[in-house]
Structure 1
Amino acid sequence: MPLWLEVIVRTLVAVVVLFALTKLLGKRQISQLSLFEYITGISIGSITAYISLDVDTDWYLGIIALVVWSLVSFGIEFLQIKSKKARDLIDGKGTILIKDGKILEDNLKKEKLTNEELLEQLRKKSIFQAAQVEFAIMEPSGELNALLKNEYLPITPSHLGIKVAPESEPQNVILDGEIMDEGLAAAGLSREWLNTELEKLGVSSDNVFVGQVDSYGQFNVDLYDDKLKVPQPQEKASLLAQLKKCEADLEMFALSSDNKKVKVMYGDCSMQLQQVIDQIRPILSQ
């Protein structure tokens, strides 16, 4: 067998074996590498290169080395699943870097981080002042997670004791210029409705890279040509979507309240607003 052909065959065999062993080890190998997994990845990559190019040595020896490394890694992962002590020993524990707005310099040195690197990690979390952080921890994976102090947390409906209507996921109705009937069906819409919306925007489905419909029936598109400006949704359609959202919120308030008077009040308001929506829908849908 010619040398170049032998290299090709050995490389293909190594790729197939490496792919099979990686599938066996699981996705965690490529998503969250621990220190041991990092070492294993480097070693397996080196062995794969050896199998491909070292034609003076029997190729099956490299395959044996690959299998042994993979079995060791698989055994370590199994041990980590079964034993917390093993996890702490192999992966390590999280390190607290900020507590009560105070940076813990000793822990920072332990993780070999500078104050500038810490501030950079905080900025990636949209936090620009360390004093605003209640608690920050460096995870074993090397990722920094931080919790803001209560006074700096953004206000949410739960803070105000308000329950809001659930938001359903947007449905893809056009992908790569192709109309997705499954997405239309999930949103309770038809091709006729989609064609009408496309006419309002003055575009054809062939020119749409991604088209989505949100939970309020609002249609949004991204065109192939980035230089073309997508027309903004008409004010009537936007108003109809806002009215639907208000009606859904009122209904949710009525369902979540334990006060009978409040429940009745929100329920009546929801019914009245729904009647208004039914009356003006033909006008806003034009």
Structure 2
Amino acid sequence: MTDLGVMMMEFTLYVSIAVKLVVALVGLLIMTRLLGKKEISQLTAFDFVSSLMLSELVGNTIYDENVHLSHLVFALVVWTLLALALEKFIWTVPWISRYATGTPDLLIRDGIIDFKAMKRNNLDFGQLSMLLRENDVFSMREVAYALFETNGSISVLRQNDPANLNNGEANSPKKRVCLPESIIENGSINEAALGRLGRDPEWLKQLLQLSGISHHERVLFAEWSDSNGLFYQLK
């Protein structure tokens, strides 16, 4: 084969890749419009799996010389129709949605932490605290209800003015803001948190005894704030 023939084959390959990329981009934009627009943070587990499938579908067809443009278009059309059919089916039979997209789970109900729900969603107290901080909540005592959404975010309903429980405090000097520390998590002492507070396990033992708790293993969760004191929940 001559050099000119090789160059023509290379040129044809590049043109084919470029055309496939354009078609894939247009196809994905159309599919996004049909299925509805969502922010990345709003994607459900099904949306995430669908995105992975689409990326594999497009990636494996663009650079394969044996896959023609018509194959790519056909695959995009079939996948779009399947996704649309599933969406419509879920709307028709709503109870199936909890299997396809999941349902929110209550992690905190009426101020009480549901540890079983945390384990069910593979969450530890550090992750729960991080999700709460993303909602500008730095203390568990502020939370009345917390829902773990299907996209991995958390929705929080706060207690009514937890920092100002007494009347007449509006005109009083502001309290010093202190960052609460989780000192017990699922019966285990968080010694790193005690260190940040400048306290030790003996101090914690005495603190629990003042609250009528003989063993820290009985405590599901406890946090300490220098401004608000001890907050805890037993197992």
| Structure label with greater radius of gyration | 1
Q: Among residues 141, 150, 157, which one is paired with 1:140 in the alignment?
A: 150
Q: Among residues 31, 34, 40, which one is paired with 1:24 in the alignment?
A: 34
Distance 1:5 1:73 in 2: 30
Aligned partner of 1:95 in structure 2 is 105
Aligned partner of 1:129 in structure 2 is 139
Amino acid at match of 1:95: D
Q: Among residues 77, 91, 110, which one is paired with 1:81 in the alignment?
A: 91
Distance 1:55 1:136 in 2: 51
Distance 1:47 1:107 in 2: 36
**Structure 1 residues 6 and 154, CA gap change in structure 2 (3 angstroms):** farther
Structure 2 residue 43 is matched with structure 1 residue 33 = yes
The unaligned stretches of length 5 or more in structure 2 are: 1-10, 166-235
* Superposed displacement of residue 9, structure 1: 1.7
- The CA deviation string for residues 178-223 of structure 1, in whole angstroms up to 9 with x for no partner, is xxxxxxxxxxxxxxxxxxxxxxxxxxxxxxxxxxxxxxxxxxxxxx
Matched residue SS, 2:83:
helix
**Structure 1 residues 45 and 29, CA gap change in structure 2 (3 angstroms):** farther
Distance 2:88 2:80 in 1: 12
Aligned partner of 1:59 in structure 2 is 69
Q: Is the 8 A contact 2:105 2:117 kept in 1?
A: yes
Distance 1:92 1:133 in 2: 23
Aligned partner of 2:79 in structure 1 is 69
Aligned partner of 1:198 in structure 2 is none
**Structure 1 residues 45 and 55, CA gap change in structure 2 (3 angstroms):** same
For CA contacts below 8 A with separation 6 or more, give which structure has more relative contact order.
2
Amino acid at match of 2:42: Q
Larger helix percent: 1
| TM-score normalised according to structure 1 size | 0.50
* Superposed displacement of residue 31, structure 1: 6.1
Runs of 4+ off more than 3 Å? 28-31
Distance 1:7 1:89 in 2: 38
| TM-score normalised according to structure 2 size | 0.59
Q: Is the 8 A contact 2:148 2:154 kept in 1?
A: yes
Paired residues, what number? 155
Amino acid at match of 1:70: T
Aligned partner of 2:8 in structure 1 is none
Distance 2:39 2:143 in 1: 32
**Structure 1 residues 154 and 78, CA gap change in structure 2 (3 angstroms):** farther
Amino acid at match of 1:68: V
RMSD: 2.2
Aligned partner of 1:233 in structure 2 is none
Distance 1:69 1:131 in 2: 47
* Superposed displacement of residue 153, structure 1: 7.8
Aligned partner of 2:182 in structure 1 is none
Distance 1:61 1:150 in 2: 59
Aligned partner of 1:255 in structure 2 is none
Aligned partner of 1:46 in structure 2 is 56
The unaligned stretches of length 5 or more in structure 1 are: 156-286
Amino acid at match of 1:96: L
**Structure 1 residues 31 and 95, CA gap change in structure 2 (3 angstroms):** closer
